[in-house]
């Protein structure tokens, strides 16, 4: 190929802004945005994520992934016939959470999606670092448990069919490989494109970016011009995930599209992975899902504050999300 020849968009023939190796396509900005929107729509259809007439609660962190998810989903509400609302959780992490919150609010305003904020310090009286210190558990694991609990609780109280999460292809591939290496096979089931809800107290989850690369979420957000938080959480520490990511990035480099093929075969194989041994039960204190009779949120707050807060929180969260 003549090195001086300009690279052109595969759709319109104008100068290209980006080359997607996995698709072997060049795009101008406009057609890149169309292409990613199409990928999200195809992913939603392929895995039957959204039923016509349903209501979806999008979990928005302020980062590029969930913002791109909100942008693309908000463009599909009419075509796929669903209602979209959003939720952000302010985790109270110094030097991080206030920026995340204001960006999440701005993205919701730009997309015109109704949203609510749950502020952990207002609800519990403690932020993530304080809660983690009090119960002597690593902040990331406390944070994960708190987010899962509050997202599910908000979903139940809003009465939505599904919670939409912004996990992209690259992160999901890492979590799946990690769980495989540790032989946590039941957890691989939870990392598919969607998980089903249960009996009115466990809301189903979907991942509309299941087949979208992390790099594309960043490009999408910046081509559209919406703000997103680029700072990493200061509590993040290097772990086995980073090594797995480097390995998988190498596979993708050698064989573009490898991660898509991997996630598609995982989605097909999920029914073969073992189901949790015990049925999902209700926490005897707050009624939310639990594996052992008392949920992890009630346990954590009992240890940190001397009383379980789950039940009390339900009323407060119901009031906050009632505007949605």
Which parts of this chain interact with ligand AMP (CB under 6 A)?
59-61, 65-66, 87-89, 91, 147, 165-167
Q: Is the dihedral of CA 127, 133, 138, 142 positive or negative?
A: negative
Say if residues 180 and 8 touch (Cβ distance below 8 Å): no
Strands 82-90 and 289-290: unpaired
Which residue blocks in 50-182 are alpha helix, DSSP H?
Answer: 64-80, 97-111, 120-124, 128-135, 139-158, 169-181
* Other beta carbons within 10 Å of 198: 13
Segment interacting with Zn ion (CB under 5 A) among 25-33, 75-83, 135-143, 228-236? 25-33
Partner from ligand AMP, Zn ion, ligand FES, none contacting 88, C-beta within 5 to 8 A by type:
ligand AMP
Query: Strand order in 204-206's β-sheet?
Result: 115-119, 82-90, 54-59, 162-164, 204-206, 194-195
Q: Closest distance between ligand AMP and the C-beta of residue 212, in Å?
A: 12
In angstroms, rounded to a whole number, what is the distance separating the alpha carbons of residues 106 and 104?
5
Closer CB to ligand FES, 38 or 144, in the complex: 144
Task: Report the length, in residues, of the chain.
Answer: 324
Tell how far CA 185 is from the center of its chain. Answer: 21
The verdict on 104 binding ligand FES (CB under 6 A) reads no
Binding mask 263-302 for Zn ion (x = CB under 5 A): --------------------x-xx--------x--x----
Binding mask 141-170 for ligand FES (x = CB under 6 A): --x---------------------------
> Of the candidates 80, 140, 270, 305, which one interacts with ligand FES according to CB under 6 A?
140
Closer CB to ligand AMP, 166 or 289, in the complex: 166
> Of the candidates 73, 156, 177, 233, which one interacts with ligand FES according to CB under 6 A?
233
Q: Closest distance between ligand FES and the C-beta of residue 128, in Å?
A: 6
190 CB contacts (<8 Å, ≥6 apart)? none
Residues at the interface with ligand FES (CB under 6 A): 91, 128, 139-140, 143, 233, 235-236
Binding site for Zn ion (CB under 5 A): 9, 11-12, 28, 31, 283, 285-286, 295, 298, 310
């Amino acid at each position: 190929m003549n090195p001086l020849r300009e690279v052109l968009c595969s759709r319109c023939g104008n100068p290209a802004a980006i080359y997607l190796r996995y698709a072997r396509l060049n795009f101008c900005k406009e057609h890149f945005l169309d292409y990613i929107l199409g990928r999200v729509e195809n992913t939603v259809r392929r895995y039957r994520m959204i039923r016509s007439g349903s209501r979806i609660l999008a979990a928005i962190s302020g980062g590029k992934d969930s913002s791109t998810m909100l942008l693309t989903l908000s463009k599909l509400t009419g075509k796929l016939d669903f209602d979209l609302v959003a939720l952000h959780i302010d985790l109270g992490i110094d030097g991080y959470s206030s920026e995340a919150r204001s960006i999440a609010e701005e993205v919701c305003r730009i997309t015109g999606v109704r949203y609510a904020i749950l502020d952990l310090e207002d609800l519990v009286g403690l932020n993530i670092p304080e809660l983690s210190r009090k119960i002597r558990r690593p902040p990331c694991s406390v944070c994960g448990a708190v987010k899962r609990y509050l997202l599910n609780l908000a979903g139940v109280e809003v009465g939505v069919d599904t919670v939409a999460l912004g996990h992209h292809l690259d992160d999901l591939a890492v979590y799946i490989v990690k769980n495989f290496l540790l032989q946590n096979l039941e957890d691989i089931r939870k990392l598919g494109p969607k998980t089903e809800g249960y009996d009115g107290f466990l809301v189903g989850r979907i991942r509309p970016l299941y087949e979208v690369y992390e790099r594309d979420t960043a490009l999408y957000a910046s081509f559209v011009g919406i703000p997103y938080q680029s700072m990493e959480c200061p509590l993040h520490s290097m772990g086995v995930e980073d090594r797995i990511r480097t390995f998988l990035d190498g596979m993708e480099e050698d064989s573009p599209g490898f991660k898509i093929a991997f996630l598609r075969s995982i989605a097909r194989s999920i029914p073969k992975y073992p189901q949790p041994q015990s049925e999902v039960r209700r926490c005897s204190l707050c009624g939310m899902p639990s594996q052992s009779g008392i949920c992890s949120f009630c346990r954590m707050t009992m240890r940190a504050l001397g009383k379980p807060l789950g039940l009390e929180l339900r009323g407060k969260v119901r009031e906050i999300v009632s505007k949605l």
